[in-house]
Each structure stands twice: as C-alpha cells, then as structure tokens.
Amino acid sequence: MIHKAKGTGDGDPDYSEKKLGECLQKYPNGVIFLFLAGRTKTISAKIDEAISLYKQAIACQEEWVQVHHVCYWELMWCHVFKLSWSEAVLYAERLSRDSKWSKTIYLYQQAAFLSMYQPQTPELKAKVKEIFNQVPVHKQRIAGKSIPLEKFSVQKARKSLQHGWSSSLAGLELIYLWNGFSILSKDRQLLDPILVLIDNTLRELRNIKGTYSCYADDYSLAMLLKGVIQKAMNKPSQAELCFHEVLVNEDHLDYNSYLVPYSLLELGILYLQHNRLQDAGSFLYQCRVYNKKYILENRLHFKLHAALERLKDKEEVGKSRRPGQGSNPAHIPSEAGL
C-alpha cells in the first residue's frame, strides 16, 4: 500500500487480496479489513469493487470518523480515475469541511476537479475562483516549515487566479502527483479517455499560443502527462518524445519548473524498463544532481531512490551474466516491434 502511495514499488496486491479475503471471511464487518480490501482493489484498477468496499467500511461503524475520512479520500480518487468529476468534488468538499488534515489541499483539489467540468459556465468559473481564493488562507506551517503539497496547492491556485486555468490539466496533474497512473495503467479503458482529454487540451493550447502567457507551462505539463500515458500504453518511443519536449521548454517555465526533473526521472525509468541501462543511469543521475529549486522535490526523491536501486540490481544481474548472454539494446523498440 505504501509503495503505491509513494510510487516506489509494485508490492504484491494478489497476495494482499488473498489474505484480506481470508480475514473478511472471519470478520465480514471488520472496518480495517474492508478498507484495506478496497485499497487492494484500487491498486488492481478494480475501481467499482473498490468503491463498494469503501462504502461498506463507512457503513459498518460510526465511532471512528477518521476511517470515514480515509475512505472519503479513496472514494474521491476512485471517482477521479473514472473521470466522474461531480462525485469527486462531493468527496473533496466533504473532506474540506470535516477533516482537519489539510484544508488547503482539500480546497485545491475541489477547485481542480470543478475546473474539469464541461462546459465552464460563468457561474462555474466564479465558484472555482472563489475556492481558489480560499486555498492560501488555510496554509499551515509545522515546526516553521510549509507542507510541500500545500505550498504546491497555493502556488497553483495563485497561477490559476492570475492567468486562468486549462480545463483538463489541473485534475490530471493531481492524478500524476499522487501516482494514480500506476493504477490506471492496469486498465486501458481508464487511460483512453484521459489521452483524449490531453490531446484536446494540446489543440486548444496551440490555438492560443501567442496570447497565453503560461503557454509553455501548460503545454509542458500536458506533454509530461501524455508521456506518462504513452509509457503506460507500452508506446515507449512516443513517451520518449513527450518527455524530451518538456526538457526543451525548460527555460520558458515560470510556474511548472518541477516538470523538468520529473521528466528526467520519467526518462530514466522508461530506459530502465527497456534495459537501456547506460541511458537510464545518465538521466537518473541528471535528475539527482538537478540543482534548480522546484516544488515537490521530496516526492521525486522517493521515486528516484527506488529507480536507482532497480538500476543497481539490473547492473548486478548484467555483471553476473556470461559474455554473449544478454545485451543492452541500443534503441527503445518501436510500437510495431513490441
């Protein structure tokens, strides 16, 4: 569960599902078992089954309200994965009202999901703007330090208030930052409509390229998201082009500077998956030594550390092989060759 939340590994959902099934046979109303079973279904991209289990976990007890909040959080993401934005907004709104964890993050998510609605009517835009204005008000400091995701939320809210928002990117960006694409990659039917959204957004952005001051930021974000989806769809050559497109725009990014090190990481992971170990090491090293300031650095380093460990393991395996037993491919194979 933690591996998936941090984006640092795969875990073993099949084993988890088996053991939790045994526990639920013995304790069918065990709230923790119901929640964990729901989480396991989420990880396996069995979204409707997960929703049912989370709702059972909520219904089986009323005393432990914190469990309700955790279930609301998971239900919110399940509906996001299905692009059911109205349901996702309801859970984000409930969390911002009832949970004390981070009102700033909950409010930003609520506004981000509302911004995904189509069409964006004047009334809806006014509501989104009102919520974005509330985001900085509730920002916390713990031991004198800001919470990174709150800092991100405040920065994004201010950018949206000053320059407007692109109608399909805010919600999808949150899916990426919470490692949701590792779940969506298990079900092509969940990925296809997201790719359509991104392609539509790219067309809209190209139409306003000369008049929109945040064009490079939003275009690069769309390309990173598209690259992640292409990688999940096993289209490595197309994913590679998308990530490199982000790097080309590095000097033009005002708000989304984090996209550059994250694209370096994604390229390293992509090459690692296709056994281009020298290229993987090069891009992962560039990511590690990237010295410009950017938000969400700690979240990146969790994934970077895991990728470097996998690279080390693969290099050790390569050293143990006899000459001629394996090779490092010179190129990522084309889609036709997969």
Cα 336 versus chain centre, distance: 28
- CATH fit for domain 1-80, picks 3.40.50.150, 2.40.40.20, 1.25.40.10, 3.40.50.300: 1.25.40.10
Digitized pLDDT (tens) for each residue of the chain, 338 residues in all: 444 554 545 667 788 888 998 999 999 999 999 999 999 999 999 999 999 999 999 999 999 999 999 999 999 999 999 999 999 999 999 999 999 999 999 999 999 999 999 888 999 999 999 999 999 999 998 888 889 999 999 999 999 999 987 667 999 999 999 999 999 999 999 999 999 999 999 999 999 998 999 999 999 999 999 999 999 999 999 999 999 999 999 999 999 999 999 999 999 999 999 999 999 999 999 999 999 999 999 999 999 999 999 999 999 987 877 555 544 444 454 333 32
What pLDDT was estimated at residue 101? 94
Give the pLDDT of residue 338. Answer: 28
258 backbone φψ class: left, alpha, beta (φ>0; ψ -120 to 50) = alpha
Q: What's the Cα-to-Cα distance from 278 to each of 128, 195, 232, 285, rounded to whole Å?
A: 46, 30, 22, 11
> In the block, which residue shows the tokens 């299905």?
82
Multiple choice CATH, 174-318, 3.90.1150.10, 1.10.940.10, 3.20.20.70, 1.25.40.10: 1.25.40.10
Q: Which tokens is 115 given?
A: 């911004």
**HEC secondary structure over the chain:** CHHHHHCCCCCCHHHHHHHHHHHHHHCCCCHHHHHHHHHHHHHCCCHHHHHHHHHHHHHCCCCCHHHHHHHHHHHHHHHHHCCCHHHHHHHHHHHHHHCCCCHHHHHHHHHHHHCCCCCCCHHHHHHHHHHHHHHHHHCCEECCEECHHHHHHHHHHHHHHHHCCCCCCHHHHHHHHCCCHHHHCCCHHHHHHHHHHHHHHHHHHHHCCCCCCCHHHHHHHHHHHHHHHHHHCCCHHHHHHHHHHHHHCHHHCCCCCCHHHHHHHHHHHHHHHCCCHHHHHHHHHHHHCCCCCCCCHHHHHHHHHHHHHHHHHHHHHHHHCCCCCCCCCCCCCCHHHC
- pTM of the predicted model, to two decimals? 0.91
Beta bridge partners of 142: 145
Radius of gyration of the chain from Cα atoms?
A: 21
Residue 58: C-alpha distances to residues 102, 148, 194 (Å): 21, 29, 29
Return the pLDDT at 332: 52
Give pLDDT, residue 193: 97
* Residue boundaries of the structural domains of the chain: 1-80, 174-318
Identify the pLDDT of residue 324.
54
Distances from the Cα of 220 to the Cα of 149, 192, 257, 260, angstroms:
20, 20, 10, 9
What's the pLDDT at 337? 34
